Chains A and B, each alone.
Chain A
Amino acid sequence: MAESENIVAETAEKIFADLADAQTINRDKKGEWKAPLWKALTEAGLPLAWVPEDCGGSGASLAEGFGVLSAAGRFAVAVPLAETMLAGWLLAQAKVSSPDGEMTVVPASPKDRITVNSDGSLSGKARGVPFAKAAKHIAVLASGNGSLQIALVDTAKCRIEAGIGLGGDHSDTVTLDKVRPVALKPAPKGFDQTRLMLMGGVARSLQIAGALESMLEISVRYSNERVAFEKKISKFQAVQHNLARLAGESAAALAAATSAADAIANAGAFNDEVFLEAAAAKIRCSEAAEKGGGIAHQVHGAIGFTIEHVLHRYSLRALAWRDDFGSESYWAVELGKLVANRGADELWPLVASR
């Protein structure tokens, strides 16, 4: 879906513009902007966008929700909107109703496992869980007795070791020690942790692409304002070529992320083609976060290195988002194995499948 046709994403964009302006947030040292923003998002039904109405949500389509995440990336939104959307989506897979309030997802890394004990309680440790400290509930994917279960857990029942990620947002370690879930239902047939990780990875890819769009915009604007050697720095060819490369990285991230989102939103089955789209998006967007963010800083010079300037809100979050739901190195290994396993002559048919 083109974003201009996406009313849900437009609603999100308007709320962010009104209540999550980067400059205003950056000056607010007490975090007073968070409550009104979350309230407005909740009133618009956005945190539970991917939850059907009969499970307590607003029943938006996957494509509409992906549009919201792109917008969230453009504003480098630092409230658990993406996480709550993902949690609601995960719960809805097993028809578990979503509660009100902030949520997050466990596990948030492909290597962590949560197990269902024989008494129906949950145990395990998950690292790098975004916004666990702020979440009232956690949607958990757990395995036990050879099947996968989806659970809703009260965060207060878990042990949270707070951590702060590169972007300044919480990235916590969550330990479940025989935690009794609020609800526990079997995951649908065919669902697995890879699927959850790839969905999370595509969410992060869209956010990174959005952040890069903003980094490009503010870098271009800054280069047209800043004067050095008696002319605007945008007139220096070296600066122009740096910004052209930033545009390229931003474009690559945008194309990879929106293509993957489109593939997931329209997938009949979760096959190799969808895997390629989602894994490639996380890999390429993460690479773009490094290259593109680096250029944005180079163009800004020292001012972009200050806490007062808004650039770090985008650049550091984009870098932090690389680590969630499997890093680019992890997905590259997985994608490489898939390609090798299919064999050399099946590589092109895979790439040319859409």
Chain B
Amino acid sequence: MTAALRFDPIRLPPECEQLRKEVRAFLAEEIAAGTFDPHKPNREDTDVPEFSRKVGAKGWLGMTWPKKYGGHERSFLERYVVTEEMRVANAPTRRFFVADRQSGPVLLKYAPENIKMDILPRICRGEVCFAIGMSEPNSGSDLFAAKTRATKTDGGYLINGTKIWTSSAHIADYMIAIFRTSPPTKENRRHGLTQFLVKMKQPGIEVNPIGQITGQYEFNEVVFTDHFVPDDHVLGEVDGAWKQATSELAYERSGPERFLETYYVLTELVRAVGNNPDTRSAEGIGRLVAQLHTMRRMSVSVAGMLQAGKEPVVEASIVKDIGTVWEQALPHRVRDLAAFVEETATNRETLENQLSFAIKTAPKLTIQGGTTEVLRGIIARGLGLR
């Protein structure tokens, strides 16, 4: 075995508790004002630009980034608190979530100074939405099979090909995508892909919505036809995107969004069961809460290790593996337990509507952002098996 797994018992520092109060108060105000309904995760309007700007104005976007780019130089643990409170409240985070979690950090690391100065402050103000261009019609989990070409031309590149399953592309201002700049080599099949910043809503980019089984239209097909990207939009090393992908995974895979996606059904179950549960309900709820608590402690632990400058890639993959499998099963377990809830439960309709949506959402949870199979491969590599 290469190294023992570590999950240090991190305690959130006192400043996190103050922040948590502020976030809860803000969300309560927004709910009261009718900005969103926390009991309706299945609403259509998950993109709420005004809400996004308010979150930015609160200083809760780009929290860990340098101040010179509009960031707030706060800790990963503080960002963690904001993320989990937003998620539990079913707040409409679609517009800013990807930019804040993932795209901003990539730009910070690889973008030229002028682009950082241009875009990062706008992310922090909640003004711009990002999409991630990874999957293609014939390359999903097998990222390095991507074929969409970036062909060198005067002052930049011409992009031709198709990305697919691209969440939020229909509202996104930018996409961070990988394109093929060279063929793979015999020695290294991962060679030849380059990461680019793409400005959306430009000539040569066509976004076609794709309906999902939930009834929503969150992901898209994005077709590039001789779309021009300037040289300074190359992020990092030409042909070397594979070197850049791995270290960010710990950030992407270990957050509270990896086990809280269907959490709302558990809250509603507790409400429906009431204060004096029978033994069956009590045991069922107790087990689910114990499992949830454990995952959250694992996830907080990874955030703490990231804050301490470590790179817990295997631990982060474990959090996503266990977390997504759990949140996928959760609506089904809640359905089992809800089978004997009294007809008179006041929130019966809410619970049933939520369960219907959560059960339809469930299949995607172990696919998006790295399938269970890919994650287990990464964990196996960490264990020294491959």
Give Cα A352–Cα B289 distance, bound, in whole angstroms. 12
Question: A2 contacts B8, CB within 8 Å?
Answer: yes
Residue from B7, B267, B286, B386 within 8 A of A344 (CB atoms):
B267
Residue from B276, B290, B300 within 8 A of A283 (CB atoms):
B290
Question: A344 contacts B270, CB within 8 Å?
Answer: yes
Residue from B276, B282, B315 within 8 A of A333 (CB atoms):
B282
Give Cα A240–Cα B376 distance, bound, in whole angstroms. 7
Give Cα A223–Cα B383 distance, bound, in whole angstroms. 11
Question: B7 contacts A258, CB within 8 Å?
Answer: yes
Most chain B CB neighbours (cut-off 10 Å) among A2, A240, A266: A240
Residues 300 to 341 of chain A near chain B (Cβ within 8 Å): 328-329, 331-337, 339-341
How many residues belonging to B are interface residues under a CB distance threshold of 8 Å? 60
Q: B382: nearest residue on chain A (CB-CB)? A: A247
Residues 330 to 346 of chain B near chain A (Cβ within 8 Å): none
Q: Which of B131-139, B197-205, B291-299, B359-367 contacts A (4 or more CB under 8 A)?
A: B291-299
Question: A340 contacts B273, CB within 8 Å?
Answer: yes
Most chain A CB neighbours (cut-off 10 Å) among B8, B9, B376: B9
Question: A340 contacts B294, CB within 8 Å?
Answer: no
Give Cα A311–Cα B190 distance, bound, in whole angstroms. 40
Give Cα A245–Cα B386 distance, bound, in whole angstroms. 16
Most chain A CB neighbours (cut-off 10 Å) among B5, B286, B322: B286
Question: B293 contacts A247, CB within 8 Å?
Answer: no
The digit string for A52-80, where 1 denotes a CB below 8 A from any CB of B, is 00000000000000000000000000000
**Set of chain A residues within 8 Å of B275, measured between Cβ atoms:** 340-341, 343
The digit string for B352-380, where 1 denotes a CB below 8 A from any CB of A, is 00000000000000000000010111011
Q: B11: nearest residue on chain A (CB-CB)? A: A354
Residues 195 to 228 of chain A near chain B (Cβ within 8 Å): 213, 216-217, 220-221, 223-224
A111 contacts the other chain (Cβ, under 8 Å)? no
Question: A245 contacts B281, CB within 8 Å?
Answer: no
User: In the complex, what's the smallest C-beta–C-beta distance from A281 to chain B, in angstroms?
Assistant: 8
A14 contacts the other chain (Cβ, under 8 Å)? no
A192 contacts the other chain (Cβ, under 8 Å)? no
**Set of chain A residues within 8 Å of B383, measured between Cβ atoms:** 216, 220, 243-244, 247
Question: B321 contacts A279, CB within 8 Å?
Answer: no
Give Cα A2–Cα B275 distance, bound, in whole angstroms. 39
Q: Which of A97-105, A132-140, A248-256 contacts B (4 or more CB under 8 A)?
A: A248-256
**Set of chain A residues within 8 Å of B292, measured between Cβ atoms:** 351
Give Cα A235–Cα B8 distance, bound, in whole angstroms. 31
| Also in contact, A220 and B1, with CB within 8 A (given A336-B284, A340-B270, A344-B271) | yes
B158 contacts the other chain (Cβ, under 8 Å)? no
B195 contacts the other chain (Cβ, under 8 Å)? no
B127 contacts the other chain (Cβ, under 8 Å)? no
- Between-chain CB contacts (< 8 Å), 16 pairs: A2-B8, A240-B380, A241-B373, A241-B376, A244-B377, A244-B383, A255-B9, A287-B287, A332-B283, A332-B285, A333-B282, A333-B283, A340-B282, A344-B268, A344-B270, A351-B293
Interface residues of A (CB under 8 A from B): 2, 213, 216-217, 220-221, 223-224, 234-235, 237, 239-241, 243-245, 247-248, 250-252, 254-256, 258-259, 261-263, 266, 276-277, 279-281, 283-284, 287, 328-329, 331-337, 339-341, 343-345, 347-348, 351-352, 354
Give 9 nearest A-B pairs by CB, closest first: A336-B282, A332-B286, A336-B286, A344-B271, A262-B9, A335-B286, A240-B380, A283-B290, A244-B376
Identify 9 new A-B residue pairs, CB closer than 8 A, beyond the known A241-B373, A336-B283, A340-B285.
Answer: A235-B385, A243-B385, A244-B379, A250-B5, A276-B293, A287-B291, A334-B282, A343-B275, A354-B11
